Amino acid sequence: MSGRIPVIAGNWKMFKTNSEAGAYVAELLPLVADADSVEIIICPPFTSLAEVRRETEGSRVRVAAQNVHFEPEGAFTGEISLGMLREIGISDVILGHSERRQYFCENDADLARKVSAALGAGIRPILCVGESDQERESGRTGEKLGSQLRGGLASIDGGQLAGMIVAYEPIWAIGTGKTATPQIAQETISFIRGTLAQQFGAEAAASVRILYGGSVKPGNISELMTEPDIDGALVGGACLSATDFAQIVKFG
């Protein structure tokens, strides 16, 4: 037993209006009320964060943002600060999702600042890393993950690492229906844990939760969760249905 509590997080991406978010939470809460050995996180768009946080008050469901700026405030049109998230009770933030890296030019240097600012503000980062199809096929997965981890975690120490979450999300598996096999996910997450051990020491690496993300569904979660280094999942498409997400929370 690793002693690491499993985490299932649902990334809504740019889906659901505020009223749809309310209906979703009302449906989800009774379905996951007895799932007390799993940490549950939902990640709505900014417009529904406050509402979802209010509606989940008193439940075990944590609420995360999908991005944040590293500066405390300023002339950054369209951005949201950690203080704004904190004031409405947001506990976690996804950082470095491949869609943000690809479409919004987020780089490892920005992410290092975001990770360290989030930890400083008491908001737990969920740092996403992952390789493309071409990188895997040309044998450069380790190189890519190593540089994302070194870059994104450049400003923290081992004690801080243990307090965050890492998500391994191969780009070729996101939204494609092509899930990594449990063996590939395990092997790659074990490589990530080994890289973190070199960077931060064995103890910190053994305590950090590392999730798998990429076409996770009710039908494939249980086999992924049998792997020793996989501590949970970051779920995109399948989390948009409260019943499917609840099934994933219960490992299918």
- Written as one letter, the residue type at 182 is P
Which CB, 70 or 172, lies closer to ligand PEP? 172
- String of DSSP letters for 146-159: HHHHHHHTTT--HH
Segment lying near ligand PEP (by CB under 6 A), choices 51-59, 75-83, 212-220, 243-251: 212-220
Q: Is 174 in the site for ligand PEP (CB under 6 A)?
A: yes
Q: Counting runs of H as helices and runs of E as strands, what totals does the chain give?
A: 12, 8
**Which 3-state string (H, E, C) describes 59-83?**
CCEEEEECCCCCCCCCCCCCCCCHH
Q: For this structure, is 69 an active site residue?
A: no
Site for ligand PEP in 92-121 (CB under 6 A): none
| Residue 175 within binding range of ligand PEP, rule CB under 6 A | yes
Q: At what angle do helices 242-249 and 18-32 cross, to 10 degrees?
A: 40
Choose, from 55, 69, 97, 135, the residue flagged as catalytic.
97
- Phi first, then psi: give them for residue 232, nearest 5 degrees: 150, -165
Minimum CB–partner distance for residue 250 and ligand PEP (Å): 17
- Tell whether residue 218 is a contact of ligand PEP (CB under 6 A): no
- Assess 215 for contact with ligand PEP (CB under 6 A): yes
Instruction: Name the site residues for ligand PEP (rule: CB under 6 A).
Output: 11, 169, 174-175, 213-216, 234-238
Question: Any idea which residues carry the catalytic annotation?
Answer: 97, 169
